Amino acid sequence: MSRTVTSAQVVNIADLRRLAQRRLPRVAFDYIDGGADGEVTLRENCRVFDDVTLRPRSAVVTQGCDLRTSVLGTDIALPLLLAPVGSCRLFYPRGEAVAARAAGAAGTIYTLSTLSGTRLEEVKAATSGPCWYQVYLCGGRDVALGAIARAKAAGFSALVVTIDTPVAGLRERDVRNGTKELVSGRPLSMLPFVGQFLARPRWLLDFLADGGLMSFPNVVLPEGPMPYADVGAALEQSAVCWDDLRWLRDAWNGPIVIKGVHTADDARRAVDGGASAVVVSNHGGRQLDGVAATLRVLPEVVAAVGGRVEVLLDGGIRRGGDIVKALCLGARAVLVGRAYAYGLGAGGEAGVTKAIQILRADLVRTLKLLGCASVSELGASYVAVSPHWRREP
């Protein structure tokens, strides 16, 4: 699998994480791996799955398991989508197109971040499957409208509106690794941090061959694509409010997914604003630290929407059993970000494919051990949840 990943080396997502750490410079690996502030929410997103126990049906022989589902009317081969992850070209050449191609081959949906280094048209052309476009309002309304029009023309099938980034969270690893200095273009500021690149010569050669430090070709400002150095300021100037849903809905004229829902109240506002689906998400613990883990919030959101829209979940998915628990608690499907980003960083398309294969195999094995033949049959009877989870929203 590429030059760095073999089947013997990789049994689970943690193995892909280890190989990504070995291949990538520290600044790129920590961009994937790190969270905000003390990383409490980052850790809790994963740990919370331990609070939910499985309740199998024994003496049931399941010859095959049906993993198929549909999201927003699109049939997919397994209840797992690839979440938007920005700056994927830092991890692997043409990283967004590479990941999209792997998603299409697996029969699922790829979600492209506004803050990607690859043109959205190239990403859509790279995959045989459906694509969603995740929009930030970087550069203002007119710039966002231009990107939305391009995404619609290219064949993206849903618009994902992220609502939890009024400012960028404080990711302390990025500060310590000199992220701002490395993109400043000032040699004296960059110098103390360049050693981490020189320590990864194979990555550095790939990075330079792919054009070096990227810009954001889907954020086209009057002077050209937004440079990489402007990310933090651009996010702070482009916060989404509920009123924006009106013009976004009119511009897109298709399914809208609201990502970043933490509470029942916001779930209801998203439905009232015309969302077709909501994603229970805390941005992978990369924004406000100390918020609840997404799995913990999921039952509250499911109850609040009352079946009016589909509910998806991201955050902390590392095993097929995690996917099963989320589906049992009401998620239609899950999105994975870090799990495939580790694969991308470890070995490009082969690494992303391996991450999906690991989660698919985990999912099948878990279903068979549960005595459940299909993801459509999963429900609350297959899990036990602590009583304190059952509070009313």
Give a three-class secondary structure readout of 165-188. CCCCCCCHHHHHCCHHHHCCCCHH
Give the C-alpha distances (Å, rounded to integers) separating 321 from 166, 235, 268, 325, 332: 33, 35, 29, 6, 15
Classify residue 204: in a domain, yes or no: yes
Domain CATH for 61: 3.20.20.70
pLDDT digits (tens, 9 = 90+) for 219-229: 999 999 998 87
Mind listing the pLDDT tens digit for each residue in 92-105?
999 999 999 999 99
Tell me if residue 283 is catalytic: yes
In a domain, 332, yes or no: yes
Residue 148 in any domain: the answer is: yes
On whether residue 389 sits in a domain, the answer given is: no
Residue 276 near residue 294, CB atoms below 8 Å: no
Residues 261 and 267 sit within 8 Å (Cβ to Cβ): yes
Looking at residue 4, its pLDDT comes to 54
286 found inside a domain: yes
Domain total in the chain: 1
**380 inside domain:** no
Instruction: Dump pLDDT digits (tens) for 282-318.
Output: 999 999 999 999 999 999 999 999 999 999 999 999 9
Q: Is residue 4 part of a domain?
A: no
Tokens 């099948």 -> residue: 364
Structural domain includes residue 97:
yes
pTM metric for this prediction:
0.95
Q: State the residue range of the domain holding 188.
A: 13-375
Options 26, 283, 332, 360, the catalytic residue:
283
